[in-house]
Structure 1
Amino acid sequence: MTAIHQRVADVVFDKLHERIVGGQLAPGDRIDPTEVAASLGVSRTPVREALLQLEAQGLVERLPYRGVVVTAVDAADVEDIAALRIHLETMAVRAALPHLTEDDTRHMESIHRELLAAVASPDAQRSFSELNRDFHLTLYRAAGSPTLLRLISDLSARAERLRLHFDVRHGRAMDDHARILAACQTGDVDEAVAATRDHILGATLMMLPEDFRVTPGSVLDTALLQSGHDRQNNPSTTADLRR
């Protein structure tokens, strides 16, 4: 593919991604390459390339007799990934905070400023993932466990692929990052753990139905309790953390 076709394919990708994230294309909706090409005034070649990119990111899939359709988000998978992330990432925070340096917190603060600018830009979806990953891994690296870091990175990559279905400009990520950063700067381990837990849960709830509730005794419930969540005093966890 020529450089010009690649640029056109990127534009088509952005348009289709925006429609998926914005809900104009819902899970199960069929995407007709010919219709897309006609609506955007381009040839089918960049549309096919854009669909391959979307397929690689798990946003669309090819089904027999239907063609390309928007992939549905598996709620059970979302919940399981969240439970494992809460367990591992809060563990990493507890281990990391006593070893976090001023250089580390300054780097996190710099990334946070970049994230604030990124989410206000037209390229928010692309910029957010890399900066968000750098912000959290700067903290987790201080735990000094390459194995833990690798497990967290693998799960975070899966969560990022799911999050591509949703608009990062909505939700509470920036407020959560500010809370995590403040706890790291003051060395408040319990607050950093709570902020990390709430951050992961809040991001997860964006991907689940409005009426979702954490089932008592589930893997997610167990991870929340182990991370210090008080079920008795926080019965409406989902209502608070969706905002």
Structure 2
Amino acid sequence: MQLLGTTKVIEHKTRTQLVAEAIRAKILSGEIKAGDPLRQAALATEMNVSRIPVREALLQLEAEGLVNFEAHKGATATQLSASQIDEIFDLRALLEAELLSHSIKNLTNQDLIDAELVLTELESAMEAGDTHLVTGNLNSRFHAKLYSRAQRPQTRELVDIYSKNSERYVRMHILLAGGLTTAPEEHRTLLDLCRAKETNKACDFLKKHIVGAKNDIKKLLIKIEDEKK
């Protein structure tokens, strides 16, 4: 994997950013599983970089909740946990509803058209079974467009952090907990409420959308944990 072979990309992103993106993608796709060790020397060799950007990238991913550092063990991919999911998703519901409440009245017709175009792409990806696109870029772009007029940069930064923290859980929801069938209709409803400028209804629906996903994933995680006992 010649991660840093393209100088055009390096002009815009640091080595640490590129390494973090590569490791994040491996964790979120399941290539690196929860509990797997993340050996700096092996990652540096694979990605054709020194250990310094690898360590910096792992520290960045630790802040996102994707990596855990343990004494005498080093870095590992974090475990999926039913107990952890409550805090992450409850915070997402509060913060994203806050962003939407400030954004919705300022959304332009073009914003709504752009959001619908992304949603159409997302629905096509779902129909094609492309869960990587569904749970990653397209889902993020759809929600980001709806929040884009909030003018709350610090809240947005927190939302980005918790969104990254929850990506693996969202992927689990799409793949294993029924999200593939419920998400398209829920996204359409949210978009319609935004188009109608129904701020309170849209924010309430967004909270239910996020908390509903949390509850579905929790049931699945508890079942998995019980089966391991």
Same fold (TM over 0.5): yes
Aligned match for 2:67, one of 42, 45, 60: 60
More helix by share: 2
After superposition, the C-alpha distances for 1:7-29 in whole angstroms (9 at most, x for unaligned) are: 88777655533331233423222
Q: 2:114 is matched with which residue?
A: 110
Any gaps of 5 or more consecutive residues in structure 2?
Answer: 224-229
Which position in structure 1 is the counterpart of 2:163? 160
- Structure 1: distance between partners of 2:117 and 2:158: 25
Q: Counterpart in 2 of 1:134?
A: 144
Contact preservation (8 Å) 1:85, 1:152? no
Q: Which residue of 2 aligns with 1:184?
A: 194
Question: Which letter maps to 1:153?
Answer: R
2:24 pairs with one of 17, 22, 44: 17
Q: Secondary structure at the match of 1:210?
A: helix
Structure 1 residues 14 and 77, CA gap change in structure 2 (3 angstroms): same
Q: Which amino acid aligns with 1:158?
A: I
Match of 2:105? Answer: 100
The answer for the alignment partner of 2:226 in structure 1 is: none
- When residues 75 and 37 of structure 1 are mapped into structure 2, their CA distance, relative to the original with a 3 A threshold, is same
Residue 30 of structure 2 is aligned to residue 26 of structure 1: no
Structure 1, unmatched stretches of 5+, are 214-243
CA RMSD of aligned residues (A): 4.5
Counterparts of 1:36-51 in structure 2 under 5 Å? 36=43, 40=46, 42-43=47-48, 45=50, 49-50=53-54
State the TM-score, normalized to the length of structure 2: 0.59
| CA spacing shift, 1:14–1:89, aligned 2, 3 Å | closer
Question: Which residue identity does 2:86 align to in structure 1?
Answer: E
- Amino acid in the other structure paired with 2:75: V
- Structure 1 length normalisation: TM-score? 0.56
Task: Go from structure 1 to structure 2 and tell me whether the alpha carbon gap of 1:137 and 1:122 turns closer, same or farther (over 3 Å shift).
Answer: same
| DSSP 3-state at the match of 1:30 | coil
Q: What secondary structure does 1:68 align onto? A: strand
Larger Rg, first or second structure (1 or 2): 1
Number of residues of Structure 1 aligned to a counterpart in Structure 2: 200
